Structure formats: structure tokens, C-alpha cells
Amino acid sequence: MIAQAFFGHDRIWSIAIFTMALTINGAVTAGYLGNGLDIAPKFSGTIFGIANTLSSFGGWLSTFMVGELTKEHNTYEQWQVVFLILAGTYVCGALTFLIFGSGELQSWNSPTQTETAEKHEEQPLNEEKV
């Protein structure tokens, strides 16, 4: 996005930059999409659902932002601001994951011994043998 902000005024460069960005994004996607499965396989569906909901909000917000920033005058300078904001968003997301993210199996993925023991101690409602 930074390259697009500074070299995007040329149509050929713009197409080349977006092609490279989408190629790199495809490679990156393979890393973060599987992370929920790595950290908590039993809850990966829930984790992915929450993450997808939050990212959908980001998609709506970015569309709204672009509309607001470019509605008066649709100039290259205004689009530079859009691309720099998007680049900042990517950098913030990457830094957040580098600082707080992990690929290690989390302890809350496995039930405690008490939960497992309670499951085996259940009594049937009807003790009549058939």
C-alpha cells in the first residue's frame, strides 16, 4: 500500500503493485487462517467465526472511510491518504500479532480433570434394565 501511495499515479505501476500485493496476501492468508486451529482445535470454529465477524466490520469501515475521504474531490492526493491509512492498518495488525500472537496450543483447549471426571459420574434417569 505504501508503494501504491507513491507510485500509483502511473497505471502500469499501479497494476503491477496490486498484482504483487494480492499474490503476497494469498501467501499470508495461509498463515493466519490456520492459527485458530493451531492454538485451540476444539474451538477453532468459534475463533474463526469471531475473527471473521470482526474482519467484516473492518471491510465495512474501510469502504466508509474511502467514501468519506474521496467524496469531495476524487484526486490522487486523497487516494494517497487512503493507501497510507491502509498501510498503517496492516502494520498495526502485524505488530499486534508479533507481540501478542502465538501458535502454541492453549491450555483452555483441553478440559480439566474435574470436567472429565464429572462426565463419567453421571447417573441415568431410569435405572431399569431392559
3-58 pLDDT, tens digit each: 888 887 888 988 999 899 888 888 777 777 788 889 999 999 999 999 889 889 98
Residue 79 lies in a domain: yes
Residue 29 lies in a domain: yes
pLDDT of residue 115: 56
User: Which domain covers residue 45, as residue numbers?
Assistant: 2-104
Residue 109 lies in a domain: no
Residue 120 lies in a domain: no
Residue 111 lies in a domain: no
- All three cell numbers of 81, joined, read 491518504
Q: Nearest Cα to 48, choosing from 93, 40, 57?
A: 40
Residue 125 lies in a domain: no
When computed from its CA atoms, the radius of gyration of the chain, rounded to whole angstroms, is 24
pTM for the predicted model, two decimal places: 0.69
Give the count of domains, the chain: 1
pLDDT of residue 121: 64
